[in-house]
Amino acid sequence: MNSTNVLLLHKNNMESRIYLFCASTSFPYFAMSFSTRLMLPSDGDEVAELIFNSLNVWHEKNRGFKLVPGTWEILRIFPRVYEALDPNCCVTVVDTETNRIAGACFFHPRSTHTSLGILAVHPDFFGKRAGSMLVKYIADFTDRRNQPLRLVSGATNIDSFSLYSKFGFVPECFYQDVAVAMYHPVEVNAPDGTEIRDATPDDVPAIAALERRITGLDREKDYRFFLENTDKIWHTSVMTSSAGIIGVMASVCDPGSNMLGPGVAQTEEQAAALIRHELNAYHLHRPVVLIPSAAIKLRQALYDIGGKNCDLHISQVRQPGGKQAASGRPCFPPSSGLVFPTFMPESG
């Protein structure tokens, strides 16, 4: 016999505990006990190091390279930023025998939805169902709020895709991760009748209203957080016309995260100009932007300035209860423009 049997022994709104009973022909029975709890302030460094190890071990094994350079300390950005933006919104799975954190996942509740952020399991606990416990905790949380649950997941990780599929997630949009090496500024040609400028805190209500019109999502607190810019790592551009703000593109520049987004635009031409403007804040960096694969003209515009594909991602949506809508459509209708997700923060 070579099997793993799972028995859920204890569960409530704050904690669930799972015991894995494993047996094989070579080893005696042993029991592994997991519990879930929210991340504590003292857990920040352990979670950052766990994310670093999880990402790099998976990428080395499956793609032949480390995703995150340097040392784990650069990923302190995740607990630091996410605890400032959404306090007490990181669930951890803990090995109760050793008190080690086996896995962690941040989540981002908003008035219209909740987003599942970075999910990481320590390599020592790969295949032990820690990931399933994390997703279930957050799915149960959103079900109690009767909200859709959203995420952006790697398209090249079939195990990750399968995990989310089992919980009822439905693919929504396919994205190409495009990296652009910014050795010199790029020319910005705003469409006729528009102009691009740096955003200000006074722009937040109009930015939030634009995103709601295009995506149906409310993320006003995110844009306010970017423009307060306490950490001095954020930048945001807006495109304006006689109709007001018609496009926005935010970005983060930090050793642990160097990318554009979130953002929205009504046309590919507008998006290309916004991206170019935001890229110019990244001299001597190599930021990444996720673009909808169907945006052919925008894709070519980035290739023309040296952009190169570096990964693939899929935005996915889960209905409350994990049930598909009667129409067979995702939770939100197709956006009336272009949407640019990001991994910092993963709140859309």
Residue 318 domain boundaries: 176-340
| Together in a domain, 261 and 135 | no
| Together in a domain, 188 and 309 | yes
| Together in a domain, 55 and 184 | no
H/E stretch holding 213:
helix 204-215
Identify whether 154 is part of a domain: no
| Together in a domain, 227 and 101 | no
Identify whether 155 is part of a domain: no
pLDDT tens digits, 280-327: 988 768 999 999 999 999 999 999 999 999 999 999 999 998 876 544
| Together in a domain, 59 and 198 | no
Identify whether 336 is part of a domain: yes
CA angle, 213 as apex, 211 and 218 as ends, to 5°? 50
Identify whether 157 is part of a domain: no
Q: What is the pLDDT of residue 140?
A: 97
pLDDT tens digits, 89-139: 999 999 999 999 999 999 999 999 999 999 999 999 999 999 999 999 999
CA distances from 100 to 13, 43, 50, 96, 124 (A): 21, 10, 10, 7, 10
How far apart (Å, rounded) are the C-alpha atoms in residues 49 and 102? 11
| Together in a domain, 138 and 11 | yes
| Together in a domain, 128 and 208 | no
| Together in a domain, 239 and 98 | no
The count of other CB atoms within 10 Å of the CB of residue 9 is 9
**246 touches 274 (CB < 8 A):** no
How far apart (Å, rounded) are the C-alpha atoms in residues 143 and 130? 20
Identify whether 348 is part of a domain: no
**121 touches 131 (CB < 8 A):** yes
Query: Which CATH number goes with the domain that contains 291?
Result: 3.40.630.30
Structural domain count of the chain:
2
Q: Both tokens of residue 22? A: 């494993």
In this predicted structure, the answer to whether residue 45 has a pLDDT above a threshold of 70 is: yes
How far apart (Å, rounded) are the C-alpha atoms in residues 54 and 49? 8
Identify whether 156 is part of a domain: no
Q: What is the pLDDT of residue 281?
A: 86
142 exposure class (CB count in 10 Å sphere: 0-12, 13-18, 19+): buried
Between 207 and 328, the more confident residue is 207
Q: Which of 95, 126, 147 is the last residue of a domain?
A: 147
Mean pLDDT of the chain: 88
In this predicted structure, the answer to whether residue 183 has a pLDDT above a threshold of 90 is: no
| Together in a domain, 213 and 332 | yes
